[in-house]
Amino acid sequence: MTQTRSHGPLGTRRKHCIRRHRVGSNRAFLGPVSIAGHVSRAGSWSVVLFSVLSTADDPVAQRWQLIDGKHWQIYSSAVEAVEVTDAAEGTRGDCAPGMVEVLGALRVDGWGYNDAIDASQKRTCTTWISHAYPERCAHFDRTQWLLIARTFPTKEMHFCIDRYEYPNRRGAYPWIMVEWTDARAICQAASERLCTEAEWTFACEGEEAMPYPYGYDRDADACVVDRPWRPVDEDALSQRTSERTSMELDRLWQGEPSGARPRCRSQFGVYDMAGNVDEWTTSEVPGERPSILKGGYWGPVRDRCRPSTRAHGEDFYFYQQGFRCCADVTAFPR
């Protein structure tokens, strides 16, 4: 059976065959099953919907969406309207709908490999889960840290940031398999920008420069963290748009919808900054590649506010990478 529909901003037409076959012992694959045009504040994109079918032995089913032939997202019907979230949260300030106003003083003394704050903070860890990289600390001494933190210079910050990982809706699953260049373009299309490393970090850690967005004790129930690592079939992911890719993503996925963990919230009211999915930001270090990942993902990794991953280029994508957008503060009409 073949479906042909018009979709996307240019009304292009493509053909997709629907076929069903066995994958492993417990699941079947059906895809693509539908195509639709979706519109966000960043414009329109095309969506191809895949389904991983459950059986009695394996009842969990995910409906994966291929967006613009490159990004992936789990479909959700339980997405809250932005205006409802804004009213409930009360953190929008003078920002666009769905964003949070952030104001205060960031502690700063170098970034990345030269970040003295990150190095100093690790010395206040009193209980290590694992001291080997990627190190995980169960408890930081707040009193000791505040004595150290006040010795660092500060930088005044005032900006807007998405409340949730893109597409920035409570109840929606974050987009993954996103390159840094695409994340930047999506934010720019909405007259916003990909957050700088400094903006993202401050929205997470606040003026105390806390290690976790919620405080000083690592809490596997507060955010989506410390789930077991699963070996990755990189060849399946390299195909990017295939049904094999969707099946591998479904096998690897251990994240949750945006806002599913109410306590995974920074003091400014920004959610899911520790764990769930890694987030692209833009480096401000002269001469360094701009593509910086922050926040960690659902696995057993650092998942703190200050650390970063600086090893990947602008065209890198992977199964646990997403992003969120930032913008200048302007009085938006209400």
Q: What CATH topology corresponds to 79-327?
A: paralog of FGE (formylglycine-generating enzyme) (3.90.1580)
Burial class (CB in 10 A: 0-12, 13-18, 19+), 169: buried
The string of pLDDT tens digits covering residues 153-175 is 999 999 999 999 999 999 999 99
User: For residue 36, what pLDDT is reported?
Assistant: 39
**How confident is the model over 180-235, as pLDDT tens digits?**
999 999 999 999 999 999 999 999 999 999 999 999 999 999 999 999 999 999 99
58-72, 145-159, 267-281, 320-334: least confidently modelled range: 58-72
320 φ/ψ angles, rounded to the nearest 5 degrees: -125, 25
For 98-117, write each residue's pLDDT tens digit. 999 999 999 998 877 778 99
Domain ranges of the chain: 79-327
Residue type, position 305, single letter: C
Q: For residues 314 and 65, give the distance between their C-alpha atoms in angstroms, rounded to a whole number.
A: 23
pTM of the model: 0.86
User: Distance between terminal CA atoms of the chain?
Assistant: 48
